[in-house]
Structure 1
Amino acid sequence: MSKNVVIIGGGIIGLSSAYYLYKSGCKVTVVDKSNFSSGASYVNSGYITPSHFVPLSQPGIITKGLKWMLNPASPFYVKPRLDMDFLKWVYAFKKSAKASKVEKATPILIDFNVLSRELYKEMNGSGDFDFHYERKGLLMCYQSDKAGEEEWKVGQRAIKEGLKVENLSPSEVKSLEPNVDLNIKGAIYFHSDAHMTPNDFMKDMIKFLKSEGVAFFANEEVLDIEIAGNSISKIITNKQELIADEIVMAAGSWSQKLSKKLGIKIPLQAGKGYSINVEEPTGITIPAILSEAKVAVTPMDGFTRFGGTMEIAGINNAINPVRVNAIAKAAKNYYSSLDDIKLETLNSAKCGLRPCSPDGLPYVGKSSKCKNLTIATGHAMMGWSLGPATGKIVSEIIQDKKTSLDMDLFHPDRRF
């Protein structure tokens, strides 16, 4: 049955939802407070990562986080502040950082990522629009024995779940990346992963959806949401009023503020990440994560992107030069061959805000408090990877179909 659907949020989750809702015959409108050219969906590392099945809230992260709070250049930084939503999130985060919760989430997160990878591949072969997509895997590069042991432990867990993973020596890595000089003791190689060029994909996806009749309203901020009974009756923006059969909340880090207008509490904190694009040839052909520094490296279409950090410091888009320089320093530390390449830092760096739930799992589904609202947010660092799968499942939920995956762990009403 064709429905009129309004999607709040034009990032990868919102666009993927628009794509699959359009494919199912729905009339779709996407509204966003930005101009559809910035944010986390444009500056991320473009990873499609079945290898990333360990949520942010994991055993030991609290201890690391306390230590890293003293270092403004650390990979994971939480800025303390007297804010009730933040304090509740921290408490829920601490409760979620348990081995039992990670173990329970592992299989479904792998399945979620694999589904999304296959949907990207299917989308690329559909003829709708062309985009850069490569499956070359992911190297988890380490410089210390301790980091190598930790990464291999994750790799062995992945093998049990059916993923192909290898523990490589420096010479074996060199055979894969002959044109770069890596300062490492080894790397764990996940064959399961793929990568893309996000900013190009977003631009081309929007162009395709517009050509198919999907409406886009840019620079429109949702000011209020009116309720009639237990359904949304009207969305009020700074420019107009929108009425629809179904609403999709895919507003990323702003979803918590909007959901409060409906009496729905979804704990979220914005996790800022940074990226630097290097236009000069680097010789890098395989995506990598520099383990100790938590820096991601992606060979994109025409440039190489270096990105990283998770900065929980509220909703703001200010560039912290200390954290940007830490990314550049790590890149040169691991890749000796980058010494002669100018890594522009402050001037070219961009940032994006990733919506982080306390347990590291996204919110996908309908809240019991509003029958025509589907929530799709909280994907943290896996937003790009889980985009198509989330969009397909959102479409299935709205069309009252059986979902492609069991979504119980991701229910918006779950307790922490």
Structure 2
Amino acid sequence: MKKEVVIIGGGIIGLCCAYYLQQDGHQVTIVDKSDISRGASFVNAGYITPSHFIPLAAPGMITKGLKWMLNSSSPFYVKPRLDADFLKWSWLFKKSATAKHVEQSIPVIKDINLLGRELYAELKKSNDFDFHFERKGLLMCYQTEKAGEEEWNIGERAIQEGLNVQHLTKEEVKKFEPNVDFNIKGAVFYDSDAHMTPNDFMKQMIAFLKTKGVLFYTNEAITNLAVSNDKIVSVQTSKRTLKADEFVLSAGTWSSVLAKKLQINIPLQAGKGYSINVTEDTGISMPAILVEAKVAVTPMRGFTRFAGTMEIGGINHDMNPKRVKAVANTAEGFYNGLQIPKSAIDAATCGLRPCSPDGLPYIGKTENYKNLTIATGHAMMGWSLGPATGKLVSELISERKTSMRLDGFEVGRFSF
């Protein structure tokens, strides 16, 4: 049955929800507080990552976080603050960071990433798009034996999960990257992964959706949500009232703020990441993560992107020059001869990734309101999981069997 659907949030998740809902015959409207030209969906590393099946909430992360808390340029930085939401999130993170949680999460995260990769490949094959998409795999490059051992332990587990993984020497890495002089000991190679140019895809998807009749209301913040009994009746923006049969909340980090208006608890913290684009020829042709500093390197259409850090410090787009410089210094330390221009560092951008306490997204209907579907909390995997989430949301709203089970993604799992 055709329904009218309002999607709150026009990032990668919101756009993919709109795409599959429109494909299923629904009338879709997207409303966003920005002009949908910036943010995490545009400045991320562009990875599709079945390899990243370990949730952020894992044993050892608390210890690392405490150590890194003293270093504002560390890979994972938590800014301490007396804020009730942050303190609750931190407690839930600590509670989730167990070996049992990791084991339960691995197949779930892997499967939704594989679904995302499959759907991106389908979109690429269609005549509707011409975005950049390459499946070259991913190099996890390390400089120390300890980091290499830890990474290979994950690689061995990935092999148990059915992924194709190789442990490479520095000389073997050279076969993958003949035009790069690496300062590394070796790398773990994941054949499963792919990469894209995010802003390329975002612009094409927005243009396509408009041709299909999807309405966009941008630069309009949600000011109120009207409810009646167990349903949302309408949302009020700064300019208009929008009524619909179904509503999707996919507003990234802001989702938890809006959910509070409905007395729905979805703990989220903004994980800020920084991005540097280098238009000069770097010789880099393979996506790589520089393991010790968690810096991602992606050859994109027309430039190379260096992205990294996870900064839990509230909802803001304040730039921290130390953290930007740390990303540049790490890249130059792994690639001999690489020089990132000051102009590129000065032009660095940031985006906020919505992080749940257990490292799993929220995807599903709410108990409170029959016509509200939540889709947020994807953290660093938002880009990778965009199409998979969009398809699952459309299947829920269209009342069809979902492409995979939603165990682990329950919206109300932290109700209190």
The TM-score, its normalising length taken from structure 2, stands at 0.99
After TM superposition, give the deviation of residue 45 of structure 1 in Å.
0.2
CA offsets per residue over residues 283-308 of structure 1, 9 Å max, x none?
A: 11110000001000000001000000
What amino acid is aligned across from residue 188 of structure 1 in structure 2? Answer: V
Q: Which residue number corresponds to residue 406 of structure 2?
A: 407
1:347 CA drift (Å) = 1.8
Q: How many residues align?
A: 415
Residue aligned with 1:130, SS: coil
Q: CA deviation at 1:345?
A: 4.9
Q: Tell me, yes or no, if the aligned pair for 1:8 and 1:248 is still in contact at 8 Å.
A: yes
Tell me the equivalent position of 1:311: 311
Distance in 1 (CA, whole Å) between partners of 2:30 and 2:24 is: 16
Whether the 8 Å CA contact 2:8–2:250 is kept in 1: the answer is: yes
Give the drift of 1:128.
1.3
**Aligned partner letter, 1:354:** R
**Partner residue of 1:302?**
302
* SS of alignment partner, residue 6 of structure 2: strand
**1:346 offset after TM fit, Å?**
4.2
- Cα 1:358–1:271, aligned 2, differ >3 Å: closer, same or farther? same
Partner of 1:364: 363
The residue number in structure 1 matching 2:256 is 256
Report if aligned partners of 2:308, 2:327 keep a CA contact under 8 Å in 1.
yes
Change (3 A) 1:302 1:346: closer
CA RMSD of aligned residues (A): 0.8
User: Following the alignment from structure 1 to structure 2, what is the Cα–Cα distance between the partners of residues 415 and 205?
Assistant: 33
- 5+ residue gaps, structure 1, are none
Are the equivalent residues in 2 in contact too, given 1:53–1:106 (CA < 8 A)? yes
| C-alpha contact (below 8 Å) 1:155/1:188 kept by paired residues | yes
Q: Alpha-carbon deviations, 1:50-75, whole Å to 9, x = none? A: 00000111100000000000001000
1:124-139 to 2 correspondences below 5 Å = 124-139=124-139
Instruction: Please name the residue that 1:153 is paired with.
Output: 153
The one-letter code of the counterpart of 1:383 is G
Are the aligned partners of 2:266 and 2:414 in contact in 1 as well (CA < 8 Å)? no
Q: Does structure 2 retain, via aligned residues, the 8 Å contact 1:363–1:412?
A: yes
Distance 2:256 2:108 in 1: 24
- What is the alpha-carbon distance in structure 1 between the residues aligned to residue 111 and residue 245 of structure 2? 30
Structure-2 separation of matches of 1:67 and 1:239: 47
1:355-407 CA-to-partner distances (Å, cap 9, x unmatched) read 00000000000010111000000000000000000000000000111111110
Runs of 4+ in 1 over 6 A off after TM superposition: none
Question: Residues 343 and 288 of structure 1: is their aligned pair in 2 closer, same or farther, counting only changes over 3 Å?
Answer: farther
TM-score (norm 1): 0.99
Q: Once the 2 structures are TM-superposed, how far is the Cα of residue 169 of structure 1 from its aligned partner?
A: 0.2
What secondary structure does 2:256 align onto?
A: helix
What secondary structure does 1:410 align onto? coil
Partner of 1:268: 268
Once residues 6 and 289 of structure 1 are traced to their aligned partners in structure 2, the CA distance between those partners, rounded to angstroms, is 37
Letter in 2 for 1:141: C
Q: Which amino acid is 1:283 matched to?
A: G
**Aligned match of 2:36:** 36
Name the structure 1 match of 2:351: 352
Indicate yes or no: 2:291 matched with 1:282.
no
Counterpart amino acid of residue 405 in structure 2: D
In structure 1, distance between residues paired with 2:140 and 2:346: 28
Q: How does 1:387-402 map to 2 (within 5 A)?
A: 387-402=386-401
Report if aligned partners of 1:124, 1:130 keep a CA contact under 8 Å in 2.
yes
Distance 1:367 1:292 in 2: 39
Q: Structure 1 residues 341-350 or 306-315, which shifts more?
A: 341-350
Offset from partner CA, 1:326-363 (integer Å, 9 cap, x none): 00000000001304x52545421000000000000000
| Post-superposition offset of 1:129 | 1.5
Give me the whole-angstrom Cα distance separating, in 1, the residues matched to 2:266 and 2:51: 26
- Distance in 2, matches of 1:302 and 1:128, equals 22
**Same amino acid, percent of matched pairs:** 65
| Residue 15 (structure 2) pairs with residue 2 (structure 1) | no
Aligned AA for 1:263?
A: Q
Give the CA deviation at 1:4: 0.2
Amino acid at match of 1:355: P
Aligned-partner Cα distance in 2 for 1:345–1:179: 22
- 1:334 matched to which residue of 2? 334
1:109 maps to 109
Q: Secondary structure of 1:59's partner? A: coil
CA distance in 1, matches of 2:335, 2:268: 35
Q: What residue in structure 2 maps to residue 181 of structure 1?
A: 181
CA-to-aligned-CA distance 1:196-238 (integer Å, 9 cap, x gap):
0001110110000001100001100001101100110110000
Which residue does the alignment assign to 1:48?
48
Q: Aligned residue for 2:142?
A: 142
Amino acid at match of 2:230: N
Paired residue secondary structure (1:15): helix
Give the 3-state SS of the residue equivalent to 1:337 in structure 2.
coil
SS in 1 for 2:66: helix
Classify the secondary structure of the residue corresponding to 1:236. strand
Aligned residue identity for 1:43 = V
User: Given residue 215 of structure 2, which amino acid in structure 1 is its aligned partner?
Assistant: A
The residue type equivalent to 2:391 in the other structure is K
Equivalent residue, structure 2, for 1:205: 205
Distance in 1 (alpha carbons) for counterparts of 2:215 and 2:387: 19
Q: What's the offset of the Cα at 1:415?
A: 3.0
Structure 2: runs of 5 or more not aligned = none
CA distance in 2, matches of 1:176, 1:344: 29
Q: After the TM superposition, which residues 61-140 of structure 1 pair with which residues of structure 2 at under 5 Å, given as runs? A: 61-140=61-140
Q: CA deviation at 1:5?
A: 0.2
